[in-house]
């Protein structure tokens, strides 16, 4: 299956940019990485006994795409000056970042089991100074986009070529700080900045549109001077495609509204906001890991 | 008498020369613009009154307008510092670090990036604007955050030095600034160092009371010491580095005088008074009298009227010094 076939229903419009082909082999590798990340997330959460499940599972495909295809980075030299920056604004989904970083070689996968434990580099919410490669410290919502915009602004002052990404949740768009930063990035036409919104429609108190309606998110960002793209955030090929398209937008910052399914990969918890902030117990974890391994088998056979 | 080692103005008590600490901040920024290409200045729609206008005009490519958005002021500043710039984020203290306190806590202090926060119009002396704009808790907010340095310069020249020192310091720094023109006390040669308190006034005899003051109200403490010079020998100390505190100097002088008075244009809860009391309670307990704002908001008025109402006037300071001495003697 080619990349364009997989993504044809997800593209808002065909722009004709970037004809480089994501080979079937590469796509299979990325999908397997996403499954490995999901398995690691479940193992981490059950060991930790607390933490967020739905968000990290839903974002596993996007983080696999970032760490194994999109980002210009070096796991052995996390402070490399010209690396792309990925700012995680909604710090509570950090298990997905830890898992992706471990699989990418930043630190041993075994260390992910220390999540949320005393003395661990893997704090409950990410801290830049504790673990090289985290880029910033986050958790309290709404503060990442401003930091990403600050980095993008500074980089542009120095004609740096790296790109800045900011992963955000949909729920944190309730926060005023996000819109202050969106206004700033739009006003300054920060085209070296790409925002990614995990549009999974859930937040702690319920569905986003019930808690505090966010729609029309596209119109809001456009009104703030952004270019807006949408895609299926659980379709790796589609996501890589829109990220490439975002890089071709020179006049504005771009935001990708990535439609994801919270808890993706585990049928029992998909799209259930009760799983926002809870970890699985041991029995659930065993059952879910079995489910994921079946899925892994499916990916392997699908690509054969 | 004035401490000659402090190299203060010879005409300190006679001169009418006044300048605001915010003016010294603006002058410091201009020097930094020249000497350090990494310095950038961010402002939340208050360029003239925070005195960053001259920097903006001379270095427009390094001036970043934020608009009335103090939370974004902090987070954009955090990103710039994370990238490698030396950002000064400027607004009124009531809004920054007032409104954006959590963003400062998470993205600057815990993140430990070198953002320099300049809070202008702090204290009662901003006067007619009233309580909404009179930040009286900004030092408390900043002092309780690990990694944060807190500076409270006493005059324009010291504010200029504090600005240069903040840029040279790798971590986050808060600089407290005032709106009103106040007495110039220090000179170019007066020592200034983060973490050091400076003795400004020493009586000929062994001091009976050590007076620790911060900010422009230091002048009132000096006037009080002068009035009392033939009655109660005192030592007056300029504590412009609220954090880190100069423990060595404070310990030594508390040991000498065995009675302490603190003076600040800020809530005594969480401010200089608290800082010194917290330290001395553990190291050298002595009677302490705290002059400052005691759990009240400010109000409109002239700086002079407000100093009198809130007990920051030199006459009241002299009374409290006498009270501290009496407490020590068990009277």
Burial grade of A28 (CB within 10 A; 0-12, 13-18, 19 or more): middle
Pairwise CA distance, residues B192 & B118, whole Å: 18
Nearest of B258, B257, B259 to residue B206 by alpha carbon:
B257
Residues 24-43 of B with CB under 8 A from A: 40
Q: What DSSP letter does each residue of B168-189 carry, written as one string?
A: HSSS-EEEE--SS-EE--B-TT
Using the predicted structure, report yes or no on whether residue B146 has a pLDDT greater than 60.
Answer: yes
Residues of chain B found within 8 Å of residue A145, distances taken between Cβ atoms: 75
B189-214 burial, b at 16+ Cβ within 10 Å, e below that, comes to: ebebebebbbbbbbbeeebbbbbbbb
Identify the closest residue of chain A to B83 by CA–CA distance: A151
Nearest of B29, B81, B77 to residue B56 by alpha carbon:
B29
Query: What pLDDT, on a 0 to 100 scale, did the predictor assign at position A301?
Result: 81
User: Per the CB < 8 Å rule, is B71 touching A176?
Assistant: yes
Query: What pLDDT, on a 0 to 100 scale, did the predictor assign at position A45?
Result: 93
Last residue of a domain, one of B183, B208, B241: B183
User: Per the CB < 8 Å rule, is B84 touching A145?
Assistant: no
Query: What pLDDT, on a 0 to 100 scale, did the predictor assign at position A304?
Result: 65
Identify the closest residue of chain B to A129 by CA–CA distance: B111
- Does B217 lie in the same domain as B255? yes
Q: Which domain holds residue B246?
A: 4-14+191-328
**Which residue from B62, B66, B82 is facing A184, i.e. has the nearest CB?**
B66
- Does B59 lie in the same domain as B25? yes
Q: Is B91 on the interface with A (CB under 8 A)?
A: no
Residue ranges of chain A whose pLDDT lies below 70: 1-21, 304
In a 3-state reduction of DSSP, which class is residue A16? coil
* Residue B16: φ, ψ to 5°: -100, 5
Q: Is B64 on the interface with A (CB under 8 A)?
A: yes
CB pairs under 8 A between A and B: 101
- Does B262 lie in the same domain as B317? yes
Residues in chain B: 331
Q: Is B90 on the interface with A (CB under 8 A)?
A: no
User: Per the CB < 8 Å rule, is B76 touching A145?
Assistant: no
Burial grade of A301 (CB within 10 A; 0-12, 13-18, 19 or more): exposed
Residues 106-135 of B with CB under 8 A from A: 106-107, 110-112
Question: Smallest CA–CA separation between B274 and chain A, in Å?
Answer: 29
* Tokens of residue A63, six digits: 């983080």
Query: What pLDDT, on a 0 to 100 scale, did the predictor assign at position B283?
Result: 96
Cis peptide before A216 (omega within 30 of 0): yes
Helices of type H across A107-207: 144-157, 176-187
**Which residue from B67, B69, B106 is facing A137, i.e. has the nearest CB?**
B106
- Does B202 lie in the same domain as B79? no
Which chain A residues have any C-beta within 8 angstroms of a chain B C-beta? 87, 127-129, 135-140, 142-155, 157, 176-177, 180-181, 183-184
Pairwise CA distance, residues A142 & A157, whole Å: 25
CA atoms within 13 A on the CB side of A294: 9
Q: Is B145 on the interface with A (CB under 8 A)?
A: no
Q: Is B102 on the interface with A (CB under 8 A)?
A: yes
- Does B109 lie in the same domain as B39? yes
Query: What pLDDT, on a 0 to 100 scale, did the predictor assign at position A18?
Result: 45
Distance, first Cα to last Cα, chain B? 27
Contacts of B98 (CB under 8 A, 6+ apart): B70, B92, B119, B135, B137, B138, B141
User: Per the CB < 8 Å rule, is A184 touching B71?
Assistant: no
Structure confidence by residue, pLDDT tens digits, B15-27: 889 999 999 999 9
* Tokens of residue B242, six digits: 């609220």
Query: What pLDDT, on a 0 to 100 scale, did the predictor assign at position A1?
Result: 36
User: Per the CB < 8 Å rule, is B76 touching A150?
Assistant: yes
- Does B162 lie in the same domain as B48? yes
**Which residue from B61, B79, B103 is facing A151, i.e. has the nearest CB?**
B79
The CATH number covering residue B157 comes to 3.40.50.970
Using the predicted structure, report yes or no on whether residue B145 has a pLDDT greater than 90.
Answer: yes
Nearest of B146, B137, B154, B177 to residue B271 by alpha carbon:
B137
Nearest of B11, B6, B13 to residue B225 by alpha carbon:
B13
User: Per the CB < 8 Å rule, is B75 touching A138?
Assistant: no
**Known catalytic residue: B57?**
no
- Does B239 lie in the same domain as B121? no
Structure confidence by residue, pLDDT tens digits, A64-107: 999 999 999 999 999 999 999 999 999 999 999 999 999 999 99
Using the predicted structure, report yes or no on whether residue B113 has a pLDDT greater than 80.
Answer: yes
The one catalytic residue among B31, B61, B70, B319: B70
Per the prediction, chain B carries an average pLDDT of 97
Query: What pLDDT, on a 0 to 100 scale, did the predictor assign at position A299?
Result: 84
User: Per the CB < 8 Å rule, is A184 touching B76?
Assistant: yes
Nearest of B127, B114, B107, B325 to residue B216 by alpha carbon:
B127
- Does B56 lie in the same domain as B23? yes
- Does B220 lie in the same domain as B234? yes
Structure confidence by residue, pLDDT tens digits, B91-107: 999 999 999 999 999 99
Gyration radius from chain B CA atoms: 19
Contact between B274 and B280 (Cβ < 8 Å): no
Residues of chain B found within 8 Å of residue A183, distances taken between Cβ atoms: 67, 69, 72
Question: Smallest CA–CA separation between A130 and chain B, in Å?
Answer: 10
State whether CATH 3.40.50.970 applies to domain A3-11+25-302.
yes
- Does B178 lie in the same domain as B82? yes
Pairwise CA distance, residues A94 & A89, whole Å: 10
Structure confidence by residue, pLDDT tens digits, B258-299: 999 999 999 999 999 999 999 999 999 999 999 999 999 999
Element (H, E) at B199: strand B198-202
Contact between B108 and B149 (Cβ < 8 Å): no
Last residue of a domain, one of B183, B207, B229: B183
Query: What pLDDT, on a 0 to 100 scale, did the predictor assign at position A296?
Result: 84
**Which residue from A128, A152, A181 is facing B75, i.e. has the nearest CB?**
A181
The CATH number covering residue B222 comes to 3.40.50.920
The total number of structural domains in chain B stands at: 2
Residues of chain B found within 8 Å of residue A152, distances taken between Cβ atoms: 79
Nearest of B210, B81, B217, B199 to residue B139 by alpha carbon:
B217
User: Per the CB < 8 Å rule, is B79 touching A129?
Assistant: no
Using the predicted structure, report yes or no on whether residue B77 has a pLDDT greater than 50.
Answer: yes
Query: What pLDDT, on a 0 to 100 scale, did the predictor assign at position A3?
Result: 42
Element (H, E) at A257: strand A254-259
Contact between B187 and B245 (Cβ < 8 Å): no
Nearest of A123, A179, A181, A168 to residue A141 by alpha carbon:
A168
Global ipTM:
0.95
Pairwise CA distance, residues B174 & B152, whole Å: 8
- Does B233 lie in the same domain as B92? no
Rounded alpha-carbon distances, angstroms, from residue B119 to A38, B3, B87, B116, B123: 46, 30, 14, 10, 10
Pairing assessment for the beta strands B198-202 and B234-238 based on DSSP bridges: antiparallel
Query: What pLDDT, on a 0 to 100 scale, did the predictor assign at position B314?
Result: 98
User: Per the CB < 8 Å rule, is B79 touching A146?
Assistant: yes
Last residue of a domain, one of B183, B214, B239: B183
Pairwise CA distance, residues B121 & B129, whole Å: 10
């Amino acid at each position: 299956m080619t990349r364009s076939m997989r993504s044809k229903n997800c593209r808002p419009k065909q722009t004709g940019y970037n004809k480089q082909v994501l080979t079937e082999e590469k796509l299979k590798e990325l999908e397997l990485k996403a499954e490995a990340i999901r398995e690691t997330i479940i193992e981490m959460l059950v060991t930790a006994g607390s933490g967020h499940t739905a968000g990290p599972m839903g974002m596993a495909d996007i983080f696999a795409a970032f760490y194994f295809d999109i980002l210009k980075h070096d796991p052995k030299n996390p402070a490399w000056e010209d690396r792309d920056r990925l700012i995680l604004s909604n710090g509570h989904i950090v298990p997905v970042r830890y898992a992706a970083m471990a699989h990418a070689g930043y630190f041993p996968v075994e260390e992910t089991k220390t999540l949320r434990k005393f003395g661990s580099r893997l704090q409950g919410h990410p801290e830049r100074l504790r673990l090289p490669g985290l880029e910033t410290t986050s958790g309290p919502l709404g503060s990442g986009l401003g930091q990403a915009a600050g980095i993008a602004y500074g980089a542009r002052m120095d004609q740096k070529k790296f790109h800045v990404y900011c992963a955000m949740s949909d729920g944190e768009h309730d926060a005023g700080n996000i819109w202050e930063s969106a206004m700033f990035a739009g006003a300054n036409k920060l085209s070296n900045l790409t925002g990614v919104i995990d549009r999974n429609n859930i937040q702690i108190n319920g569905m986003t549109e019930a808690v505090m309606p966010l729609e029309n998110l596209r119109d809001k960002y456009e009104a703030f001077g952004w270019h807006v793209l949408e895609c299926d955030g659980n379709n790796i090929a589609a996501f890589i495609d829109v990220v490439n398209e975002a890089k071709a937008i020179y006049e504005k910052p771009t935001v990708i509204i990535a439609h994801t399914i919270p808890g993706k990969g585990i049928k029992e918890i998909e799209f259930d906001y009760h799983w926002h902030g809870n970890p699985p117990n041991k029995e659930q974890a065993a059952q879910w890991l079995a489910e994921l391994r079946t899925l892994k088998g499916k990916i392997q056979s699908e690509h054969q | 008498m004035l401490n000659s080692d402090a190299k203060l103005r010879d005409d300190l008590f006679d001169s009418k020369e006044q300048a605001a600490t915010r003016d010294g901040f603006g002058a410091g920024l201009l020097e930094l613009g020249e000497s350090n290409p990494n310095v950038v200045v961010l402002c939340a729609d208050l360029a003239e009154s925070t005195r960053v206008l001259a920097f903006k005009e001379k270095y427009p490519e390094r001036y970043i307008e934020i608009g009335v958005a103090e939370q974004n002021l902090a987070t954009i500043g955090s990103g710039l510092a994370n990238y490698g710039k030396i950002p000064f984020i400027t607004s009124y203290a009531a809004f920054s670090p007032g409104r954006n306190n959590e963003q400062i806590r998470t993205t600057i202090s815990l993140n430990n990036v070198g953002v320099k926060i300049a809070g202008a119009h702090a204290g009662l002396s901003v006067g007619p604007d009233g309580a909404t704009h009179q930040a009286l808790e900004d030092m408390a907010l900043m002092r309780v955050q690990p990694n944060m340095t807190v500076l409270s310069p006493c005059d324009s020249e010291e504010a200029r030095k504090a600005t240069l020192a903040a840029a040279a310091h790798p971590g986050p720094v808060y600089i407290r600034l005032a709106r009103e023109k106040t007495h110039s006390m220090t000179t170019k040669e007066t020592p200034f160092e983060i973490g050091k308190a400076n003795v400004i006034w020493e009586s000929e005899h062994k001091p009976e009371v050590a007076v620790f003051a911060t900010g422009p109200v230091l002048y009132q403490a000096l006037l009080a010491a002068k009035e009392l010079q033939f009655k109660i020998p005192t030592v007056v100390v300029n504590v412009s580095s609220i954090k880190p505190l100069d423990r060595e100097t404070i310990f030594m002088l508390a040991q000498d005088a065995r009675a302490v008075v603190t003076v600040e244009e800020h809530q005594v809860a969480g401010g200089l008074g608290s800082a010194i009391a917290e330290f001395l309670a553990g190291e050298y307990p002595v009677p302490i009298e705290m002059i400052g704002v005691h759990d009240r908001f400010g109000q409109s008025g002239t700086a002079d009227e407000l100093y009198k109402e809130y007990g920051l006037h030199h006459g009241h300071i002299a009374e409290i010094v006498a009270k501290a001495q009496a407490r020590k003697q068990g009277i």
